[in-house]
Structure 1
Amino acid sequence: MLAQALAPMPGRPGWSPLALAERSEMPYADLVACDPRMAGAAARPVIRPRMIVVDHGKIFNSEHFDDVCRMLGINVRPARTRTATDKAVIESTFGAVKKRFSQYVAGYTGSDLARRGKHVAEGPLWSLNELQDLLDEWIAMDWQQTAHDGLRSPFLPGITVSPNRMYATLVAAEGHVPLPLTASENRKLLPFKRLKVTDKGVTIDNRTYNSEGLQEYRNRHSQIPGQGMRWQIRYSPYAPRFVWLYDHTIDDWVEAEFIHQRLISDAWTQWTWEQATLRVLEDGGRRDDQRRIAREVSALRERARRGPDPQAKRVPQLFTGPVLDLDVDVPDPYEGMPDPDPATVVRAPSLAMDAEHVLAAGDTTPRAPRLPRNSRGRLHRPRSTVWTSAPKRTNRPTGPVRPVRTRSACAAVRPTSSLSATANLPPHITDDPNPTAARPTMTQRTEKPCEPRRTDPDFQPGGRPCRDPAHRGPAADHAGGLERRCLTHAPSARPRGLRSQRHPGRAPRPSADVPR
């Protein structure tokens, strides 16, 4: 990125003439006189930055990026995490590129489904190199030559100017001094890998490079702690014919060439090598067959020199399989109906009540009050324990049972409303001839100590509610929420072998007198 920013970009075949510097507002004659590299360049100025604000991306935290900025005297300032205002200019630039360029490219999918056009999958597919070429041409022809709101003259703040016109104004005021880099400095801008030199040389991206000067570093220590015999090997993805070993001890470079370069007559790039590799794999070849891939690269360059076939399509379409008629004709329910005329639409009258009472209007069904709920949203019910006899276990030892004092199982149920409480009682307790009929349920129950009527002749203090129907009081007692007590069927101690209805899986605690 820095290497492309510090050098003029040459115009590419097929670009519009308006994308060239000689057709733009840049001082083309003065720039060519100072820097001959500007001849035939694109309408994009060369600017050497003083400071770069970066985020926490992997490429900006690399050793290569820090070394290049230190060599060029560029300050690097990292932006704060999750703080878009530290690089607001970059964020706004991304939004402008999306609005003015990306959405007009065929096959643009949008940032989400709401911004996605129709039949996107049926459009042409672009490779990354083709998209990069389109973006470079758009930057030189549109972005650099369109007025921006952020670029204004201090003397005429009401006039907006384009980046190329602002650059021409600054060149006229301050002058232009080109700072071309030397070959050694340009090589330091290239990416590198730390590799060990073997008797076959070094291998980068499935390509082997070797030379006589490179063999002098075979099995030689790099004198860098932690690197051993691994040396810096610089390479260019745009010109992978050569690689360079950097000897930091003498600040010198050792060049090595691709061993099968004689099979490739034209210039080629990393992308060409990848495309040739895919073709070889499709034909049943191997990825490590460098000689065959080199011949395929030469064949691709030869076809590119002849140009595209006028009979063949330039952009391949997506493979969708055989064409099958899967659409079923569905009649349109609105066919034949005229479109509504907005002028004939009558406004609905206003409501005579609030909107929140519209759904409840006319509903005369009595509704029971809402049951109280706890903090978890569950119904709050009083805890009452009712004991029932459980099947006797044959593997437990028999013996005398020691009475165990437990809490009272009697809980008088008192309804808080005027509704009858007999709906929850068994049929034999009520006097209703039709006990199966639906009855309103209680809205709230509270637990209080049992207070039976004093007029009951069978009342004995300390008794429990009797479960025998013959010993139960009249239905009026149960309808009022009370139950009679007797000592015959309600002993003070719970016999062994009973289980709780609330915890049916829990066995009763054995007595201390029963041997284990």
Structure 2
Amino acid sequence: MTVSRPRLLRSGDDIRLDGRLHSVETVSGAAVRLVDVVGVVSEMPLAELLGDPGFELVSSARQVAPLPPSGLLDGIPEPVADHARWWERHIVEILTGLPPEHEPAATAKPEYDPRRCSLRQRELAKVAELAAAGHKVSFPTVKRLRLAYETEGLWGLVDQRTARPSRPTGRVDERIVAATRQAIAEETNRSTGTVARLRRRVEQILAADHGPDAPGLPSQATFYRLVNRLSQGKHTFGSARTRQSLAKQPDGPFGSVTAVRPGEWMQIDSTPIDVRVVLDNGLVDRAELTWIVDLATRTIPAAVLRPTTKAVDAAVLLARALTPEPMRPGWVDALRMSRSVLPHRRLTEVDERLEHAAARPVIVPESIVCDHGKAYISQTFQSACRAMGINFQPTHKGSPWEKGVVERSFDSVGTLFAQYVAGYVGSSVEQRGENAERAAVWSIAELQALLDEWIVATWQNRPHDGLRHPVTPDKALTPNEQYAALVEIAGYVPVPLSADDFIELLSISWNAINKYGIKINHRTYDAKALNPYRRQHSGIERKKGLWEVHYDPYDITRVWVRNHHDGGWITVPWKHLSTTPVPFGELAWQHARTVLAQRGQDAATEAEIAQAAADLLDRAEQGPAADPQTTKRDRRVSGRTRATNTPTAPRPPAPHEEPKHHPDHLVDIDDPEEPTAKIIPLPVFDARKEAETWQF
């Protein structure tokens, strides 16, 4: 019997030479490097090895088939997979002489022994064996399967007709598939409908595109299966809001940024908090929460509760983020920064106020990500960012996932804080309990105090799953721990906000300094410090000589004028400051003007508006039962005014001036615009004299 010699010798083959077993280590050019069983290395020419009569190929690395694609095998019918494994046993026996499941001491059958029979002889023997067993197989078939197994392993023995994946749309006409895709895309911005409406739209598209040659739609069951395949993951027949949000997502994966130091990337947003609060007038309403989150540490440097978020609220939020959180009466001593993991000693050297501050880090934003809400794209907020050197980064419209950290944090405040507060009403009507609004017992100011304490006590000391160190990934850090760790690495030292910085965050108005002072929205502000600059050019040519004035819409008691000549700020009080019972904001002022205009007093004086606003707050404070003339709008204006007129950041004190005394009707007799009128006494009405003038 002729011995089958290999056409090619490869590294890893086991050979027997002169009765001794060797392994082929390398084949380089015309030389072969061999290693015997005891590790002795020898080298000889390849031609000499192959021509040696004692040469025998024991096993070939070539005979090891590729690994089968297990995932693809799982997707084919089980009988087809079993048939492939049946063929594998026979092919392996042809190649090696032994079946895969042979015993360790088993020997090859004579007709399959590679030392005695050539590969062709072994294949012919297999054809004869299968025929004797009742499996009539041709020699070309066995040879084809053997080559396929050597190339692809078990997968090469699978009937490929059963392995072809079916089309997601089945055998439906491609024109119908295209029309259905178009109809599904058109549903994105429409109100949610049914499959029946979609089917009618598909018919219209086919008729418009193909006319009389339009194909007919398949059966209802087939069409429903087609629509289910094509609309998968698009919420075509679900929530319209979810559907529209998914349609705006990019085709590829979401990008991400990595923050390596506090303040590098921060996100700001607003949402109604799921707690109803009681305003000072008794009106119950939901508050709106605006807060800012640091990506590197997940710290919440500041949070503000307002009835509705305004541009100045977003600016004030920046001020609070840069201001140390003071310890409040009633807070436990464990909430002090000096008792926390924060590097308080180093920070106290920068700002002495931190010695008595709470354990909430002061973080200076470098980049702020926000959506296109009016409060954030306003000139006030953008000017505040520019003044503080903050990179303003609005997201793409309709892309809430671009600020996913702050969006997710709002869910956390609902589950970790809001649901435990009296007045909690849930995130939707379906989650709202019976008469939930009656449980509201907190004012906005009181809820703000509770929120501030919760942030310091709970949020900053609660392990966050997104804060994990690469060295210890099994341990989640708290925001305060992450802040302390990053400060050590990045060398970050924040510079807290000063009173002058706070003024930069306020709303801006450009005005002239007249002889009577500065007038903003029919309010007059005046101070002796303005004397050198009255009727003077500011030096700002672009603004035609007007002066830059900053004001707080929530406290109209004073404004600040930038001194373009000598530098610094000039604090200018409202001239009626000493006559109003409480400070009030722009909202109350505008509402009082509207009320007076409706009464026919379009030319109402500044003093009259001030008195009307003060009366409004007094009436609304007593509640609707005390004064039936108080409207719901009055109560809302009063509630917002009292909830927001408390300063939330450091501000320069008002200049010391002697109070001005005014008569009860609040008219300033020194005001050049309001001259004293000539007093004309009214005569006493005489009925008899009046009757004499009657003519009958």
Provide the TM-score with structure 2 as the length reference: 0.37
State which structure, 1 or 2, has the greater radius of gyration over its C-alpha atoms: 1
TM-score scaled by structure 1?
0.48
